[in-house]
Structure 1
Amino acid sequence: MQKRQTSSKTNIKKAFVHLLQTKGLEALSVSDIARDAQINRGTFYMHYVDKYDLLAQIEDELIEQFTVLLLAPDNEAAVNNPRQIIPYHAILNALYYAKVNYDLLNALLMGNDPKFITRFKALLEQLIEQQIKNSKKLRLARQGLPEDYATEILLSSIIGIITLWLHKGAIESPETIANIISKAKQISPYELLM
């Protein structure tokens, strides 16, 4: 029985991702999901209240896994190195996870759920706060900017790089993107104009 329920949930999620990509969230219905997953609507309702509940549960699973990957304890050297405020290996692991879940993440980023980016950005912000809190040397040097703007500058480049990578089809390797993110943390936008 448990195996059948797991299989049903997997089929529902696959159907949902497919329909998100082809129809968009607002145009798809529970009937569409059930038909695509080759289940009856009753089976869908055994697991989810509606399509929004399904979306929320999928997002929660993604954020939970990204949290495990990004907020894992790190070594002291990285905690005190500003260039490693978001450690390379944590970003790399998150990028591998993103690549495995490319279809779902791409569907979410194609405008089907703007809240997901906000939640992911909040997770990165939590990581930065955790690293600063655990460090004896690091602080957010705001360079005369209000704290919320300074944080946004720090987070936007990372989010922008990951989003562009996904929109391009995640064709580059996670290592390539992790290296780009590492370089972006070390140079200012002004330096790109020189």
Structure 2
Amino acid sequence: MGDRRSIRTKAAIKQAFLSLLSDKMISKITISEITKLADIGRGTFYLHFEDIYDLYREIENEMFDQFNRFYDESFPIRDRHDIILFINKLTDYIYRNKALFRMLTNPEDGLLTPEKIKQFFKQKILQERLQEVKSPNKPTPMEETESLFIASGVFGVLEEWVVRGMEEEPAGMSMRIQQLLLKLEE
């Protein structure tokens, strides 16, 4: 029983934090604001997190875990359907977590940076490429460059989408990215 309550409390804390993050930079958010919005005491917050940045790190780790799941469910790429599946999941996730991804547009926070996400996807793409050619060796400079190019391009488009306020629906953004990726195959 206590475990479920703990899970609900952590979820309430995270939701309150993300709600505040919609309007404020992380450096301006206080624990008092989080606890008031989550309807918990300060002591309860500190039972779960050391500080706001510990809370943020947990949310960021969950985000990268989710990216890993999306990637693992969609790869290896066997056909266009697998690319579509991955991009759809990614754009939907970003859209549902607007507050978190708006941090990308605020360099003052400096936590969730475009570079972190690009590097994550570069490594995933590189790993995929090496598995395709069944190479246990270190990637070639061309493989490194190709992976960075794809990751930077896809994430650059997503970053611009976030900057513009995600006015376009995830499905439309996903379709444009898919079309660009398919053009690269030609």
TM-score range, shorter chain: 0.7 to 0.9
**Aligned residue pair count:** 177
- Residue 125 in 1 paired to residue 126 in 2? no
| Structure 2 residue ranges without an equivalent (≥5) | none
Shift of 1:140: 7.2
| Structure 1 residue ranges without an equivalent (≥5) | 79-83, 189-194
Shift of 1:46: 0.6
| Equivalent in the alignment of 1:163 | 159
| Equivalent in the alignment of 1:50 | 51
What TM-score do you get using the length of structure 1 for normalisation? 0.76
What TM-score do you get using the length of structure 2 for normalisation? 0.79
Shift of 1:14: 1.7
1:102 paired residue among 98, 105, 127: 98
The amino acid that maps onto 1:126 is: Q
Distance 1:87 1:76 in 2: 7
RMSD (CA atoms): 2.8
What is the identity percentage for the equivalent residue pairs of Structure 1 and Structure 2?
A: 26
CA offsets 1:139-176 (integer angstroms, 9 cap, x no match): 9784xxxx765544332221111112223333323332
Distance 1:51 1:120 in 2: 21
Runs of 4+ in 1 over 6 A off after TM superposition: 137-141
Shift of 1:48: 0.2
Does the aligned pair in 1 maintain the 2:122–2:147 contact within 8 Å? yes
Distance 1:33 1:153 in 2: 39
Shift of 1:122: 2.0
